[in-house]
């Protein structure tokens, strides 16, 4: 720290270098809220479509109209990552698409397995879009002996007993849980011990995992209930308007 201050006073060139390296560190260390993270994939999707349409630059105003969010929201979100663009000049679509992809970790491959070979598990295994984003379907597991040995898109269904070895030997990052909630908790405990990085949880239960393991829940019933709430609210509004 004394060194840095000393350099700061006497060497303009080094100062600039220090300022840059400090800023990079701050950006990497800063905790971005999960609300902002949750919006990044949508930016990524729209920018991908713009890129496919051959659009090279877009202003935050035009992006705002397209995505139906305020331009100030867009600027605030992007400021978390250093801004990306220049005022009055707009964003470079290709660059922004690539940078958001990199921030989302899409510049590297992720291997995943699916636990539970029911309809939902098979639907996810067959979903080719995941592969386009670098998520590679490597293995499937089920406790039903009748399913073992069958294949989903060329991937073999294995017995639950084989899960731990398979994860360790195949560099698996993500386990997708499409099993009933009654078995999800104990399977999650087994997964934690393998050193897996993330669980994509479709079981209707909250999983307790140690820090450092990511859990992303897709609770379909919760989503349906939210829909039901909004239907009810609309009904109440209509009733009040006709009073």
Q: Does 82 bind a copy of itself (CB under 8 A)?
A: no
Interface with a copy of itself includes 221 (CB under 8 A)? yes
Indicate the pairing of strand 91-92 with strand 57-58.
antiparallel
First to last CA, the chain: 71
> Could you say which of 106, 148, 150, 155 contacts a copy of itself (CB under 8 A)?
106
- Is residue 242 within the footprint of a copy of itself (CB under 8 A)? no
User: Taking CB under 8 A as the rule, which mask of x and - marks residues 144-173 in contact with a copy of itself?
Assistant: -----------------------------x
Query: Which one, 11 or 151, has the nearer CB to a copy of itself?
Result: 151
Q: How many CA atoms lie within 13 A of 173 on its CB side?
A: 10
**201 sits in which H/E element:** strand 198-201
Q: Which is nearer to a copy of itself, 84 or 200 (CB)?
A: 200
Q: How far is the CB of 41 from a copy of itself (least distance, A)?
A: 4
Cα gap 144→158, rounded to integer Å:
10
Closer to a copy of itself by Cβ: residue 75 or 181: 181
Dump the DSSP string for 21-76: HHHHHHHHHSPPPHHHHHHHHHHHHHHHHHHHTT--EE-HHHHHHHHTS-HHHHHH
Instruction: Pick the closest to residue 200 from 180, 218, 220 (CA basis).
Output: 218
Quick one: which of 16, 37, 55, 185 contacts a copy of itself (CB under 8 A)? 37
Considering only residues 78, 84, 91, 135, which one is a binding residue for a copy of itself as defined by CB under 8 A?
135
Q: What tokens were used for 187? A: 């399977």
Say whether residue 210 binds a copy of itself (CB under 8 A): no
- Span of 52-60, 159-167, 183-191, 193-201 interacting with a copy of itself by CB under 8 A: 193-201
CA distance 80 to 34: 12
Q: Whole-angstrom Cα distance, residue 88 to residue 32?
A: 26
Q: Which is nearer to a copy of itself, 32 or 162 (CB)?
A: 32
Q: Can you tell me which of 4, 17, 45, 56 binds a copy of itself, judged by CB under 8 A?
A: 45
Residue from the set 57, 73, 118, 148 that interacts with a copy of itself by CB under 8 A: 118
Say if residues 39 and 77 touch (Cβ distance below 8 Å).
yes
Contact between 22 and a copy of itself per CB under 8 A: no
φ, ψ (nearest 5 deg) of residue 198: -155, 150
Binding site for a copy of itself (CB under 8 A): 28-29, 34, 37-38, 40-42, 44-45, 68, 103-106, 108, 110, 118-120, 122-124, 126-127, 129-130, 133, 135, 173-174, 197-198, 200, 204, 206, 212, 214, 216, 218-232, 234-236, 240
């Amino acid at each position: 720290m004394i060194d840095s201050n000393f350099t700061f006073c006497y060497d303009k060139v080094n100062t600039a270098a220090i300022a840059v390296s400090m800023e990079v560190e701050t950006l990497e260390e800063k905790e971005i809220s999960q609300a902002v993270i949750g919006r990044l994939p949508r930016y990524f999707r729209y920018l991908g479509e713009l890129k496919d349409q051959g659009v090279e630059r877009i202003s935050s105003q035009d992006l705002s109209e397209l995505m139906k969010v305020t331009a100030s929201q867009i600027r605030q979100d992007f400021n978390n990552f250093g801004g990306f663009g220049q005022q009055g000049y707009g964003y470079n679509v290709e660059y922004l698409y690539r940078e958001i992809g990199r921030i989302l970790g899409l510049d590297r491959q992720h291997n995943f397995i699916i636990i539970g070979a029911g309809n939902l598990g098979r639907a996810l295994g067959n979903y080719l879009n995941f592969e386009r984003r670098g998520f590679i379907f490597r293995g499937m597991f089920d406790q039903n002996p009748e399913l073992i040995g069958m294949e989903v898109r060329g991937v073999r269904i294995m017995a639950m007993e084989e899960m731990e070895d398979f994860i360790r030997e195949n560099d698996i990052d993500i386990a997708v849980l499409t099993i009933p909630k009654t078995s999800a908790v104990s399977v999650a405990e087994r997964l934690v011990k393998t050193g897996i990085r993330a669980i994509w949880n479709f079981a209707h239960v909250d999983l307790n995992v140690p820090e450092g393991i990511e859990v992303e829940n897709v609770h379909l019933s919760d989503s349906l209930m939210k829909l039901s709430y909004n239907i009810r609210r609309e009904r109440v509004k209509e009733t009040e308007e006709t009073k």
